[in-house]
Amino acid sequence: MTAHILDGKALAAALRADLAQRAAKLPYRAGLAVVLVGEEAASAVYVRNKARAADAIGVTAWTIRLPAGTTEAALLAEIARLNGDPDVDGILVQLPLPPQIRPEAVIGAIDPTKDVDGFHPLNVGRLHSGAPGLVPCTPLGVMKLLAHAGTALRGARAVVLGRSAIVGKPVAELLLRADATVTLAHSRTRDLAAECRRAEVIIAAVGRAELVRGDWVANDAVVIDVGINRRADGSLVGDVAFDECVDHAGAITPVPGGVGPMTIACLLENTLAAAAARRDQKSIQRPLRSQSP
């Protein structure tokens, strides 16, 4: 038996095509501001990819580059300016930040209606209370991949490996919303392999290369690999030993080309959702604008 490979690139492309149609129907051009502090190479690549993807679907993307020595107060002032700019529908501050800046202070300063990362405490609370709000992009992408695979989540046993606030906890909450029975596993979990063997759905998001082995995966289980780990030779692998698990799973995501493309597509979906939610406010009935905010 060989698993069905869940092609995140193809699914993300289809979602972006749909988002382009939705963006064209808005009475104005939606705007996304991406803030990059410092010149960390991987972050710069991520920011560039996000800006290109936004432009491709008809969303104006501004990249605000600040030096690595920027103070927390200066960054908070920039966020306050973007919060008040009616042309900006979504604000994303690229993480990680330099050590002099507290991420929690920055995340908490973003207007929750513009928090397209879904990290603001208000949006976190809305997710956990079942209220509508902006949902973190990677967990949202995971759920779309599960839906694409035709996964029956109601009553299913799901194991989430990793309890981060960015992926593990929110994806566990989304699985609970879908009526799955969820185990949130982590580094202190006893006999992690046994927990996985009982699962019909495995979400791996721990940041440990090829942690999940083939004999951890029950036949026909759906395996979503969120991990991205770089080997010494520069190649990328996930948290799942793909070559082993593909012979057991019913469906599985590759790395790269699985969850990653969905994360950016869901960021764009959040941006359009934020724009649409604000469309009736007089402050955003504005003409198209192309200059930096």
* Catalytic positions, written as ranges: 50, 94, 117
Q: State how far the Cα of 172 lies from the Cα of 189, in Å rounded to an integer.
A: 16
Four-point Cα dihedral 175, 156, 149, 222, nearest 10: 100
Do the beta carbons of residue 221 and residue 200 sit within 8 Å? yes
User: Token pair for residue 93?
Assistant: 């501050």
Q: Which of 40, 109, 143, 116 is nearest to 275 (CA)?
A: 116
Query: What's the Cα-to-Cα distance from 72 to each of 38, 67, 68, 104, rounded to whole Å?
Result: 13, 12, 11, 11
The neighbouring-strand residues paired with 252 are 5, 223
Could you report how far apart the first and last alpha carbons of the chain are, in Å? 53
